[in-house]
Chains A and B, each alone.
Chain A
């Protein structure tokens, strides 16, 4: 299977899980590439989460520049938002 097809399939699997409301792929500038939500909500989420991720990453790296943010989870009363950011420093895995 081509790489892109595999990736698409994984994305579909994630979306199909019970309890997953929406999935979004955002590029490094905060522009959404793939989304399962409507446009306005997507743009809103992408903008807000992008900023928060940048801030979180900045915090982590300020404390130790060799560290990097690997995952961000925000639990609220109603939902949980999970963000997997782009790694800046070398991947330890």
Chain B
């Protein structure tokens, strides 16, 4: 048929009914197919009967050619509006009223395409629903084809809806139509008491009589009749296959929850959206697919375009990055669990957590076995339980290997976050520096990596704004980073400052000071000391700028004038200022601080006076690399220097109290233990040493040797646990656990004023309550 439909066929055929019976038959139903008008490839028939009247069977349904084929979604949306009619819709169904539809049925019309269905009779409701739910596109095409330009259909212009129209007040009139009689079957039962009762009874009686008289009565004759049976015709009709689909659902409570809270769920991927919000349909299509909510139409329309970008989109999505982050952390936990547990001083679990790496299991088991052996041995032989250094792990990665660890600092709020600065000490080895923030949770890759132009020589975390990290570099510039962002860019830097340092910034600290006088409460200042001899305070305003707190003037050592010598002229000095190497603020009174210089002098200065030093401590013969006040006995401080020695001072005495030296190497760093008053750690190039003053003042209680090609350069105690971090010249920060550490001893270091032995030259220095500084110095010089 479709082939034929292309051509206009005018074929006439006449079908006569076969034969006539004696009966009066109604006018023969003879149909002529007058013409086949083709439209859209589907043959459309008009049928005319003998008299030329058009008796084309009209469908009961007419679709509006102006409306677009609906999407599935709107089908049900339309059923939502079922029954609700506005005046606009009232007019729409009137326009679809065709003359073919007989008025006795009332205005029975459906607008399939528009978004409302209006019916005047509730009884046809079910049939409407049935037809709407069948999503047969082909069928709808079939139906629309009937709606050719039928003159009988009055088409109104569909006007555009404007906002005003939508907001307009619409009056809805509900009226009742006349009662429509579809079926009227009068009853055959009459009440005895009605008026007709007598007549009815009479008629009934007459009828009974007739029935009684009928048999054998001449008035009633039986006669047979034959009616003509019309020829039966079989007609087969084939309809389109009705596609049935079975769908099963497991309704879960989270599914229901999701359906109601769709708007709150973040779209996990930009490409899959929840299109339909409508409840029953959504449940059906929602959760049988996997984790994403796809609406069918979206899938059909979009799946081609976006297949290529899927994997990239997934890989760069935030969710995936989060998952990667977690995965890495958990892997680290698996690998490092025994070490981390030791760090935290938890009992180590063997056999439960190390399934992932059998090698590690063996290792751990071996260690455990060895430890047990050692313990047994220890029990046998009475060994003094001394402090042991046990290496746990190292913070090292590809990026940092090869760099020299110059400085380390803990974050003030998160005791597991460590910032390490990498930069060479010598000017010959200068290369680009690096700052890495390491977290305990991932010892194999730093959390933040900041590349710096020059070698990093000092850094410190702020207390007031814990996300700020101040970094000082070899060229004297100071930069402030915000560790919250992963961005490499500095928050602020000192390049625009006119007053910046001209030499490497060897130390910087954020110092909290009570501004009792001004009533401001604690205020934090950033203080730096640098090789150009200035101690500066930096202000963070729009730009980073600084003022000088102190200039370190060169002090000459007082030479004793030997009798007979003439006074020599003072030597011309290259610079009036001595390079500053380190400083430390007093733990109790933040007005005072110590500054160590390259000449070997340590000056005690005050913030309130920037002209003169309060005191000068002379003892070192080389640059002082570090000074540190004892956090418990706040009158004592330590200093370490390139002259191979560490000196313990008392702030009232200008000569050393004790000198510690154990090797012939520069002592790069020294730090008091935060828990114990007598313990400090020192690092010289080949060893990391722990000294316990209550145990021995001659030798360190324990030390750890560096690998031959590597030098140790910095040391840091962990605050929340008994561990020591040692940085070396190859970029590795090793974490050591201090075992058998005695209970924290907060007793102040009491040095009775008696004799002291100095380990180096076995010098006996008598320390009296000094009447005058000179006499003690004499003694010292003499010996």
Contact = CB atoms under 8 A, between A and B. Distances in A.
Contacts of A33: 310-311, 314-315
Interface in B296-311: 310-311
Interface string A28-65: 11100110000000000000001000100110011001
A11 B290 contact: no
B444 A13 contact: yes
Given A79-B356, A87-B268, A28 B328 contact: no
A19 B336 CA distance: 12
B179 interface: no
Contact of A4 (B258, B289, B316, B357): B316
B327 A82 contact: yes
Nearest to B442: A13
8 contacts: A4-B312, A10-B328, A17-B444, A19-B334, A19-B359, A54-B290, A58-B252, A86-B323
Nearest to B325: A10
Interface residues of A, number: 45
B87 interface: no
B685 to A, nearest CB: 31
A14 B252 contact: no
Contact of B357 (A19, A30, A54, A87): A19
Interface of A: 3-4, 7-8, 10-11, 13-14, 17-20, 25, 27-30, 33-34, 50, 54, 57-58, 61-62, 65-66, 70-71, 73, 75-76, 78-80, 82, 84-91, 93
Interface of B: 252-254, 256-258, 264-266, 268-269, 289-292, 310-312, 314-316, 318-328, 330-331, 334-335, 355-357, 359-360, 444-445
Nearest to B398: A13
A65 B262 CA distance: 13
Contacts of A14: 324, 327-328, 331
Contacts of A78: 355
A42 to B, nearest CB: 14
A7 B320 CA distance: 9
Given A13-B328, A28-B268, A80 B334 contact: yes
Contact of A54 (B291, B311, B325, B356): B291
Nearest to B260: A65
Nearest to A32: B311
B252 to A, nearest CB: 5
Contact of B254 (A27, A28, A65, A87): A65
Contacts of A75: 355
A82 B257 CA distance: 28
Given A17-B335, A33-B314, A87-B268, A28 B290 contact: yes
Nearest to B313: A27
B129 to A, nearest CB: 32
- Kindly name the residue among B312, B320, B445 whose own CB sees the greatest number of chain A CB atoms within 10 A: B320
Contacts of A3: 316
A14 B268 CA distance: 24
B359 A18 contact: yes
Contacts of A76: 355
Nearest to B252: A62
B331 A91 contact: no
A84 B323 contact: yes
A89 B265 contact: yes
A17 B331 contact: yes
5 closest cross-chain pairs (CB), A and B: A19-B357, A65-B257, A61-B254, A84-B323, A65-B254
Contacts of B324: 7, 10-11, 14, 84
A90 B290 contact: no
B181 to A, nearest CB: 55
A35 B254 CA distance: 31
Given A17-B335, A75-B355, A91-B319, A50 B328 contact: no
A10 B447 CA distance: 12
Given A28-B291, A82-B327, A7 B314 contact: no
B86 to A, nearest CB: 38
Contact of A82 (B292, B315, B316, B330): B330
- Kindly name the residue among B254, B318, B356 whose own CB sees the greatest number of chain A CB atoms within 10 A: B254
Nearest to A33: B311
A71 B326 contact: yes
Contacts of A85: 291, 323
A50 B315 contact: no
Given A4-B315, A28-B291, A91-B322, A84 B327 contact: yes
Nearest to A60: B254
B292 A19 contact: no
A54 B255 CA distance: 13
Given A4-B316, A28-B268, 20 more contacts: A7-B324, A10-B328, A13-B444, A17-B444, A18-B335, A18-B360, A28-B269, A34-B311, A54-B290, A58-B254, A62-B253, A65-B256, A80-B355, A84-B324, A86-B323, A88-B265, A89-B265, A90-B264, A91-B322, A93-B322
Contacts of A87: 268, 319, 322
B394 to A, nearest CB: 14
Contact of A30 (B256, B290, B314): B290
Nearest to A8: B315
Contacts of A82: 327, 330-331
A25 to B, nearest CB: 7
B265 A90 contact: yes
A47 to B, nearest CB: 11
A44 to B, nearest CB: 17
A88 B268 contact: yes
Nearest to B331: A17
Contact of B266 (A34, A54, A66, A91): A91
A58 B50 CA distance: 71
A62 B321 contact: no
B253 A7 contact: no
